[in-house]
Structure 1
Amino acid sequence: MKNIFKTLALASVFFVAYSCDEERFDVQPNHLDSPESIFNNEKNYRLVVDGAYDAFKSPTYYSGDTGSSIILGDILADNLIINPQGRGTNRSAYEWSYTQQDGSVTSLYASAYFVISRANIVLDNLNKVPYTDYMKNIEAEAKAIRAIAHFDLARAYAKIPTQSADAPNSLGIAYVTTFDPAAKPSRDATVSITYDKIIADLQDALSKINPDNGGVGRLNKTSVLGYLSKVYLYKGDYAKSIEYGELAIAAASSVGAIENFVNTWRDASDDGELFTILNANTAQDNVSIGVAYNQNSGGIRSESNVSYDLFTSYTPAPATPVMTDIRKTAYVLTANFGSIPYNNVIKYRTRSGSTVAGVVDIKMLRMADVYLTVAESYMKSSTPNQVRALQLLNTLRTQRYTNYVPGPETGTSLLNAVYYERRLELAFENDRFWTLKRLGLPVVRSNFGSGATGGGTDVPTGATKTLSATSHRFVLPIPQDAINLNPNIVQNPGY
């Protein structure tokens, strides 16, 4: 019976297809195979690993209208406001009204473990061919994929180590390291144990992975360094975050040049990208990220709009010479739906040269994130290095603002400037809610409505205005159907 499950899982890997230009990798469909017959040469391991990358596009990891990671970290926080003319998708996330029975907040739990299962199929079968350098790299990619998916689960379904004094010893997640459909794993005893396992997978991957695996669509040494820096930031180990982040910066320093930045979000440039889920060719892959943000329906009909306080933050204070923020052009389009103008998120609307909505690559990790991570870690380390933190921050700001004059901040003002740029830079990239959570801060939404100038009668009030930093809703409920299937999984407090 177990082999039947493995055969079906492998079939799901092979009935996917990438078709990209020569700088992108290809996954071709294959016949239904069992582990015994498919894992007989190195080339087939590559196909299965690429299928694990592809699983990041499964609903609702980075695809689908409701609860996708494409919107989750922003709709839960203060970057978005529900549009009253939309269909009401993601409302339970926006209202923080989700329960363990409510599957509409997100299906990340099942989707992330689906990615993990594909990675584990590879890792379980490494002994079927000689352990060459090629296979070491295959193992490294699979372990890094597994770590990234577990990291996303840990952010959502457990506390973050820096969130509160009790967080490191609070309940972790189930860290799954083998493919066994009949297994019923328990959650790690503590969050610290979970983060140690994530780091162990990434460290092992770092020791074996190639410097380059064929472009941003596959993990490599630099992207693993970037992830290690990020995970160590979440753990609160700032010295390690700096160590690995600086190594990543030394290997690939570009934060994305200002002249390329808009094209990055139209898939016409990879500048500044470290790890990207490729969405390939619209004729053969055509996986839409969904209409979580908006759809084309007599104009742009947005489900959620950019909050007005964030929108105005992209316009710097008056300066001479005048500065403009390229991110405003790349991320936001002010346009009418009916007779009402709204500020719409266009980060994932379409790729350059295509009219197919939502078929775009997903930027999982960019160098700008690493710069901000290392700058924050320098400010929080036992011996703060304000000079280097400011240098990193100014490098980023120089590539986002025209006519930028390097900032002179120090101390608390410098740290706050790092936080400020993180919100602007990583808006609509599944970051904001988790950043507030790891900092132990509440969500406090603005006093504006959804209109382009902040007007409207839909101003957040009451239960949609503020989420206390101590609220149990910063940790999402584990879906009840997952608990029904595995009674060893303990529900999070408050649900």
Structure 2
Amino acid sequence: MKKNIITISLAALTIFVSLTSCERNLDQISSVNEAEEQAMTRPESFRQALDGAYTAFKTTGYYTSDTGNQLIMGDLTTDNLIITNSGRNSNAAASNFEFSSDNSQTTGLFSAAYAVVSRANFVMSYLDNGVVTGAAKDNVEAEARAIRAAAHFDILRAYSVIPTQNSPAVNQYGIYYSESYNPLNNNSSRNLTVDQGYQKVIDDLLIAADKITQNDADKGRFSKAAVYGLLSRVYLYKGDYTNTVKYGKLALGLSPSVTTLDNFNRIWKENEGLAKITDGVLFQISNAAPERNTVGVAYNQLIDGQYRSEFVADYDFFNSFATNDVRKTVYFTPATYNKKVYNHITKYAGNGGPVNIVPVKYLRTAEVLLNVAEASFREGDQVTALTLLNQLRKERYTSFTPGTEAGQPLLDAILKERRLELAFENDRWYTLKRLGLSVQRSGKGDIADGTGSKAIKQTLAAGSDLWQWPIPVTAIQANPNIQQNDKY
């Protein structure tokens, strides 16, 4: 029986999604009732289907709404953010490390990412029907593979051990790597080790890098530079520093700007209708009409001209930004709410348009540079590491004097810049995790001067099983073959 494209549900397109989500429509290909086999006889349908896969990154559990929004999860679980008494208590359980299989704060990514994978696999399933050929076919395959790899990697680093986290990691439970469009599949299991899962991600990205013809003019789609950059991220997590450097340098060769000092404010404060500045952006999740999402709402809402924040900057972290650091005024707005001054996070607030509606920077050149700098250091090339670090710092600090660090101080400086640069971009939790470090919060309060209410939990040990988030219970109920993580 043929399905109408407009009524294909997320549950039908996702291997591990809760069965309760079947009422949510995809509308991936067409705005009219049309059998998918018919729709995919037109070349333009492949572009529309790929755009549908990109759009899936905006679903709840990825970059939409507040609960489980990946723009904040990587920071509220660490020492970068502190929950406020003035908010709605959203994501409070995750902030307190109270992870559970029935709480969408840490489980939402699982089904959201597999939904992205399914949309990419849908496109791949029609590649050989003869409608697109030659370079056009290669590019469709490359984009679909890159999308699929990105989503799988996000699942892998959240729900499995990271290879550099501890020595036995590579042989522990990985994930199910979905490589075919098979909506009725309910027998799949976590059949790969961590090492095998990383290799699947890398295999997809290497094919994508070889075949992609998409240029980088449209930052809302993968380009060769973005694929190379993503490879540098994956190899860094894998602990393969030689390939981190190799593919990171390829990305930097195609897109060398880490965002100039003059443009840094503008790449974050753009709204629909204003000039689009994408200097230093490799791949972003577009957020234009008619599917605009309030991606920054997890941090705060603007009420009667005042920011009401759910989470604010940790006192010590806020003060680690120097006064001549352009990021300090871009990321934060110290302001009063309910007669108290907080250091609000306004990185995603926008400027002059709808509040909290901006593109999501999934991958930036600055991260790739930091990947290469760290990997170069670990490979013994401190000259390259310092050169790259100074290249970034030159574009973030006014009146900057090049640093001369060496040895451990150089690595510390690289990791510090990573924390400052990628704050509120879903990095901090995963950096601590891959380095095998604990969470150690400052013990300060939520008010701008360090007083006020403190986090309930101040530490999370490096060896805790909580570093691997729980598989959602709804996924296990739908498919009992899925192995739950330890201690859940």
TM-score calculated relative to the size of structure 1: 0.91
Alignment of 1:67-216 (within 5 A): 67-128=68-129, 129-184=131-186, 185-210=188-213, 212=215, 214-216=217-219
Q: Counterpart in 2 of 1:334?
A: 334
In the alignment, is residue 454 of structure 1 matched against residue 450 of structure 2? yes
Match of 1:227 in 2: 230
Which residue in the other structure is 2:16 paired with? none
Q: Which moved more, 1:6-15 or 1:264-273?
A: 6-15
Q: Secondary structure at the match of 2:284?
A: strand
d(CA) in 1 for partners of 2:182 and 2:28? 21
Q: Which structure 1 residue ranges, 5 or more long, are not aligned?
A: 17-28, 317-323
Aligned-partner Cα distance in 2 for 1:339–1:290: 23
The alpha-carbon deviation at position 102 of structure 1 amounts to 2.1
Match of 2:318 in 1: 311
Deviation at 1:488, TM superposition (A): 1.0
- Cα shift at 1:14: 3.6
Q: Deviations over 1:327-386 (max 9, x none)?
A: 011100000101100000001112x431x12111000000000000000000112xx110
1:255-404 aligned at under 5 Å gives the runs: 255-267=258-270, 268-281=276-289, 284-289=290-295, 291-298=297-304, 299-315=306-322, 324-350=324-350, 352-354=351-353, 356-381=354-379, 384-404=380-400
Q: What TM-score does the superposition give when structure 2 sets the normalisation length?
A: 0.93
| 1:387 alignment partner, SS class | helix
Residue identity over aligned pairs, in percent, reads 44
How far apart are the structure 2 equivalents of 1:439 and 1:388? 21
Report the counterpart of residue 22 of structure 1 in structure 2: none
Are residue 491 (structure 1) and residue 484 (structure 2) matched?
A: yes
Q: Of residues 393, 397, 403 in structure 2, which corresponds to 1:407? A: 403
Counterparts of 1:73 and 1:202 in 2: how far apart (Å)?
A: 24
Match of 1:247 in 2: 250
Distance (whole Å) between structure 2 residues aligned to residue 172 and residue 187 of structure 1: 6
**Contact 1:6/1:34 (CA < 8 Å) preserved in 2?**
no
CA contact under 8 A between 2:341 and 2:447: conserved in structure 1? Answer: yes
Aligned to 1:480: 473
Kindly tell me: are residues 336 and 102 of structure 1, through their superposed partners in 2, closer, same or farther at Cα, counting changes over 3 Å? same
For 1:251 and 1:47, the matched residues in 2 are separated by 27
**How many residues are matched?**
467
1:313 aligned counterpart, secondary structure: coil
Question: What is the CA–CA distance in structure 2 between the aligned matches of 1:147 and 1:412, rounded to whole Å?
Answer: 33
1:440 matched to 2:436? The reply is: yes
| CA RMSD, Structure 1 to Structure 2 (Å) | 1.7
Is the contact made by 2:6 and 2:34 (CA closer than 8 Å) also made in structure 1? no
Instruction: Indicate the SS of the match to 1:81.
Output: strand
1:50 aligns with 2:51: yes
Please give the secondary structure, in 2, of the residue aligned with 1:265.
helix
Unaligned runs of 5+ in 2: 14-23, 271-275
Q: In 2, are the aligned partners of 1:211 and 1:222 still within 8 Å (CA)?
A: no
Contact 2:107 2:470 in 1 (8 A): no
Q: CA deviation at 1:126?
A: 0.6
- CA shift in 2, pair 1:102/1:273, >3 Å: same
Q: Per the alignment, do residues 205 and 59 of structure 1 end up closer, same or farther by CA in structure 2, a change over 3 Å counting?
A: same
Code of the aligned partner of 1:475 = Q
Q: Cα deviation per residue 1:269-322 (whole Å; 9 max; x = unaligned)?
A: 1111000111013xx333222521001124110000011111001126xxxxxx
Question: Could you tell me which amino acid in structure 1 is paired with residue 394 of structure 2?
Answer: T
Instruction: Judge which range, 139-148 or 307-316, deviates more.
Output: 307-316
